[in-house]
């Protein structure tokens, strides 16, 4: 693609339903994400002659106008290293002709950006070059481990994202180790969350009456005097929902550098507990089409998480 001239792109079925920012990142090889978002903010990317937001969904027949984009990059996307490719290939816990589910290790970003050039989705596109439509269905924070869904087909992406948006049927469960002895009677956290983006690009959420509704179901699995092992089911899917709900309730997740107990976590790091103790442990996906079976997948936490659980027991 020649980025030095004005481009007009007509959206076909293969791109319909994608977010504008994700589509641009995919086609503008070698252009930094920060540059793409700046073009969108300034209105230099136009859809059907009008301004368009990064989060807008593309439709068949849309015409995108792209301005000339100068970049010092060679245009070649950066390659994932062998360690990352092998780690992610081994992490696959479910696969069929439409869907891949992996047990994402903590510390690996789901996509490039914010100082990370290669994430899960870029690495999988390198692993599976023959599959042209690989897309993340949802996201996990870099420091959260566990079940992560990748669509092989646009129809699968749209179906599952629609379930997530309507909060229908699809169930997600997490395991978390929190500071303190969570009260067993507190089985729901229902607090609205307001998302903010700092100048640095960092996303943060706070409990606010001006925010969107957010509901988490909570079950205590085990406890000690200092820690609780919880099962968390987010009924809504707000940014950092589980982390902020735990923090605001007074029992932040162990190892949470953004919303946690800084001094206590610093002491734990000296004992070898360095990660965020949040793990996406289970997914239940209803049939996508008539005649399909539901998909139930469980992901085993990594060694550091299991070691922390043993401390509680």
Active site residues: 141
Sign of the Cα pseudo-torsion (243, 213, 154, 79, in order): negative
Comparing C-alpha atoms, which of 239, 267, 262, 266 is closest to residue 252?
Answer: 262
Cβ atoms of 224 and 216 closer than 8 Å = no
How many other CB atoms are found less than 10 A from the CB of residue 190?
12
Supply 235's token pair. 């009924």
Of the candidates 273, 271, 281, the residue with the CA atom closest to the CA atom of residue 301: 281
Classify 107 as helix, strand or coil. Answer: coil
Classified as helix, coil or strand, 46 is strand
Q: Name the burial class of residue 192, with classes exposed (0-12), middle (13-18) and buried (19+) by CB atoms within 10 angstroms of its CB.
A: middle
Label residue 98 left, alpha or beta by phi (over 0 means left) and psi (-120 to 50 means alpha).
alpha
The DSSP symbol for 4 reads T
User: b/e string for 266-294 if b means 16 or more Cβ within 10 A?
Assistant: eebeeeebebbbbbbbbbebeebeeeeee
């Amino acid at each position: 693609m020649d980025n030095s001239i004005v481009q007009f792109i007509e959206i076909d079925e293969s791109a319909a339903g994608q977010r504008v920012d994700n589509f641009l990142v995919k086609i503008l090889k070698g252009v930094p994400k920060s540059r793409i978002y700046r073009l969108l903010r300034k209105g230099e990317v136009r859809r059907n002659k009008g301004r368009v937001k990064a989060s807008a969904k593309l439709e068949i027949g849309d015409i995108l106008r792209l301005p000339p984009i100068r970049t010092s990059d060679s245009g070649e996307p950066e390659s994932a290293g062998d360690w990352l490719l092998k780690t992610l290939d081994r992490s696959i816990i479910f696969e069929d002709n439409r869907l891949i589910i992996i047990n994402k290790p903590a510390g690996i970003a789901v996509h490039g950006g914010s100082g990370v050039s290669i994430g899960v989705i870029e690495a999988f596109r390198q692993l599976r070059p023959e599959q042209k439509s690989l897309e993340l269905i949802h996201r996990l924070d870099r420091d959260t481990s566990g079940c992560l869904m990748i669509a092989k087909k646009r129809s699968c992406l749209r179906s599952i994202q629609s379930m997530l948006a309507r909060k229908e049927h699809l169930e997600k469960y997490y395991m978390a180790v929190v500071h303190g002895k969570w009260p067993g009677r507190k089985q729901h956290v229902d607090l609205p969350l307001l998302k903010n983006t700092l100048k640095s690009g960092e996303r943060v959420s706070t409990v606010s009456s001006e925010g969107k509704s957010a509901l988490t179901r909570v079950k205590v699995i085990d406890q000690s005097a200092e820690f609780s092992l919880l099962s968390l089911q987010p009924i809504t899917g707000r940014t950092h929902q589980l982390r902020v709900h735990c923090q605001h309730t007074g029992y932040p997740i162990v190892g949470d550098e953004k919303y946690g107990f800084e001094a206590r976590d610093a002491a734990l790091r000296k004992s070898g507990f360095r990660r965020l103790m949040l793990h996406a442990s289970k997914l239940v996906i209803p049939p996508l089409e008539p005649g399909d079976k539901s998909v139930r997948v469980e992901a085993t936490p990594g060694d550091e998480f299991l070691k922390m659980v043993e401390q509680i027991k």
